[in-house]
Amino acid sequence: MTGFVFFGLAWAGWIYSTFIMEKTNPYRFPIAAYLLVTIILSVFKIRFLGLDISLAALFLLFISFLTFIKLPFWKLLYCTIGIFIVSSATAVFYLISLYDPVWIFIDQQILLSFLGACLAVLLFKEYKARVFSAIIGLIQGDILYAIILKNFSIDFPIGSFAFLDGLALTCVFITIWSGFEYLQTTFEHKNFQQKKEKQL
């Protein structure tokens, strides 16, 4: 069922941030609010310049842009280039799956999620930057693909439930990878401290 993954993960994230996450955590309220608004807006869409666009996709795009707006110029430039790479890769992936679908050996959105997560992990070091750059890149890639198809009089909905499923999986992949990195860093730090104590 299209949208099942998105709704399942979004509600799970909302429940965790609302009822389980520590109340002193500064990210608790923003995460819960963003997830709830995204869930509500996911059933609505608007038509702009001949394109059907999900309000949830527009909301996520707006929130993600806000996270980068206060960055220093050079860091912002680097993030812009990184996001452009993710966007271009997304559009190219869609075109390949359209013209030569034999290469798509498993579900398209799973492959796209894996691609977006890998690029975000390779291009960005911070977890927050990885998640929001992937969101911007994938949505912009979806928009670019829709514009290309529009030139051939083909309608392609931007931010469909299938896309939101893939976007949710991308965030999960990034979270898992970043979690492994955190555990590895913590483990190495503890080993270093133990060796240092033994030397003393």
Which single residue is written with the structure tokens 């309608």? 155
Cα–Cα distance, 29 to 14 (Å, whole number): 10
Supply the pLDDT for residue 50: 83
Evaluate whether residue 196 is within a structural domain: no
Would you state the pLDDT for residue 5?
87
The reply to whether 178 falls in a domain is: yes
Is 194 inside a domain boundary? Answer: no
Assigned domain for 193 exists: no
Query: Please, what's the b/e burial string for 111-141 (b: 16 or more CB within 10 A of its CB; e: otherwise)?
Result: bbbebbbbbbbebbeebebbbbbbbbbbbbb
Q: Tally the C-alpha atoms within 13 A of residue 70's C-alpha that lie toward its C-beta.
A: 3
Q: What is the rounded CA–CA span in Å between residue 140 and residue 75?
A: 20
User: What's the pLDDT at 182?
Assistant: 82
Q: Which domain range does residue 74 map to? A: 4-186
Q: Residue ranges of the chain with pLDDT lower than 50?
A: none
- Identify whether 172 is part of a domain: yes
Count of structural domains within the chain: 1
- Residue 112 and residue 163 in contact, taking contact as beta carbons nearer than 8 Å: no
**Model confidence, pTM:** 0.88
pLDDT on residue 196: 65
What local confidence, expressed as pLDDT, does residue 192 receive?
64
Determine the pLDDT at residue 168.
92
**What per-residue confidence (pLDDT) applies to 41?**
92
Q: Is 197 part of a structural domain of the chain?
A: no
- The predicted pLDDT at position 36 comes to 92
